[in-house]
Amino acid sequence: MPAPLCLLLLPRALERFILRDQAEDLLGADGVQAVEPGRVPYGAYARLPDAVARRVAREQARRLVAALDGRPRVVVIFHPLQLPVAEAVMERTGAELWYGRWDRYERAHDATPARRARLEALHVRAAERSALTFAVSTELQRLERLAGREAALVPLAADRFPAPDPTGTVVAVSLGHLGHRVDWALLRGVAEAMGDDLVLLLVGAAHPEELQGDVDFAACVARPQFVWLGERSDAEAARLIACADVGIVPFRVEPFNDAGLPYRILKYARLGRRTVSPPLAGVRTWARAVDEADGPAAFAAALRAQAGRRTAPDLDLRAWALAQTAAAQDEPLWARLEELGVARRP
C-alpha cells in the first residue's frame, strides 16, 4: 500500500520561502515532502479564466502525483493562488487540504481591484475547504473566526536567523578609505580572535581593485562580522558612529601612514567614542582620544574595553572634541597673519 504523504506546495523555492524554518521542521519527517513551483507559476492562475485554470491545474497535478513515491493524505498551501493545483491533487488522491495564512493576500496593495476580487474568492474557497487553517497572527486568526471559520495560531519562527550573544558584542566603526592603506591581516586577526563578539561597520568606499590577490582582504569580505555600508553622507556617518561603541584606525604601520593624523579620530570623539589604532606616530597628536594596540590580540582587548559605550558615550571626550574648532586649531596661523598686518581674526 502506498505510503501516506503530506505535500507542502511551496509558493516559491524553499530557500526563498518566508516560512522556510517551519517548512524545514516539517520536512524532517519521512512522510512530508516539499513541492516547489512547477512550469506554470502560481501567479498565472490569477490571470486565467476559472475553467482554464482548472484544466491547467489538473495537468500540473497529474504530473505531480505521477512523480510521487506515495499517496498524498494532506496537501498544504500557503497562498490562495495555489488552490487550483491543490484541488486537482485532492480530486486525484482524496487528500485533505491545509491552508497556511501568513498574510492578507486578498488585500495586497499592488493588486488591481479585479485581482483582489479574484484573490478574495480563492481565499474564501480555500478557507471553506480547509480541514486545518493555520494563521501566523492573532489578528488573522480573529478574521477567520469573524467569518465563521476556525484557525490554529502558528506564529513565525526564525531558527536560521543568526543570534550572536548581544551581551558580549562590541560594535566598532571604521570611517573612510577601505583599500591598500588598511591592514587587512590585522582586521582578519581581530575578527578571528573576537568571533561573534565583534560587529564592524565599514563606512566608506571599498577599493577591491587595489587589493587583487590579497587573501586577508578576501577573508574579511567573507566574514559576517564585517558590515559593508559604502559611502555615506556626513549626517549618515555621524549616526552610524552613534550606533557603535568605538572607532578604529585600521591602517598598516608603514611610513606613508605613520606620520598623518587620521581625521576620523576627531569625528569619533565628537560622538563620545574613543579610537583604537595600531602604534602610529601621528595618532599621538590626539592621544587624549586614542588607545594604541599592537597586533590582533591587543587590538581585540582594546575593543572589548569599550563595550557598552554606544549607550554610555564618553561626554568628557565629546567636550574635548567639540572644542577642537577651526578657530582654535588655526590660532598659530591667525597670530602670524596679524603679525604681518595681513588680516585680523574676524
pLDDT the model gives residue 45: 82
User: How far apart, in whole angstroms, are the C-alpha atoms of residue 126 and residue 97?
Assistant: 8
Give the least confident one: 40-54, 219-233, 311-325. 40-54
Instruction: Indicate the pLDDT class of residue 172, thresholds 50, 70 and 90.
Output: very high
Span 300-318, average pLDDT:
97
> Bridge partners of 298?
none
pLDDT at 1 over 80: no
Domain limits of the chain?
A: 4-153, 166-325
**Cell triple for residue 258?**
605613520
pLDDT in tens, 83-137: 999 999 999 999 999 999 998 887 877 778 888 888 899 999 999 999 999 999 9
pTM, two decimals, is 0.83
d(CA 202, CA 189): 16
Whole-number pLDDT of residue 111: 78
HEC-encoded secondary structure of the chain = CCCEEEEEECCCCHHHCCCHHHHHHHCCCCCEEEECCCCCCHHHHHCCCHHHHHHHHHHHHHHHHHCCCCEEEEEEECCHHHHHHHHHHHHHHCCEEEEEECCCHHHCCCCCHHHHHHHHHHHHHHHHHCCEEEECCHHHHHHHHHCCCCCEECCCCCCCCCCCCHHHCEEEEEECCECCCECHHHHHHHHHHHHHHEEEEEECCECHHHCCCCHHHHHHHHCCCEEEEECCCHHHHHHHHHCCCEEECCECCCHHHHCCCCCHHHHHHHCCCCEEECCCHHHHHHHHHEEECCCHHHHHHHHHCCCCCCCCCCHHHHHHHHCCCHHHHCHHHHHHHHHHCCCCCC
Q: Which amino acid is at 138?
A: T
The CATH-assigned architecture of domain 166-325 is 3-Layer(aba) Sandwich (3.40)
For the cut 70, the answer to whether the pLDDT of residue 175 exceeds it is yes
pLDDT digits (tens, 9 = 90+) for 23-79: 999 999 999 999 999 888 888 887 888 888 889 999 999 999 999 989 999 999 999
pLDDT value of position 288? 97
Instruction: Check if the beta carbon of residue 156 is closer than 8 Å to that of residue 143.
Output: no
- 203 with 182: CB under 8 angstroms? no
- pLDDT for 7-22, tens place per residue? 999 999 999 999 999 9
Q: How far from 194 is each of 209, 247, 272, 304, 305, CA to CA, in Å?
A: 28, 16, 23, 9, 13
Over residues 238-249, mean pLDDT = 98
What pLDDT sits at residue 49?
85
Kindly report the CATH number that applies to the domain delimited by 4-153.
3.40.50.2000
Domain 4-153 and domain 166-325, same fold? Reply is yes
How large a percentage of the chain has pLDDT more than 90? 85
Residues 6+ apart with CB under 8 A from 97: 74, 75, 76, 77, 86, 87, 90, 126, 129, 130, 131
Residue 269 phi/psi, 5-degree rounding, is: -65, -35
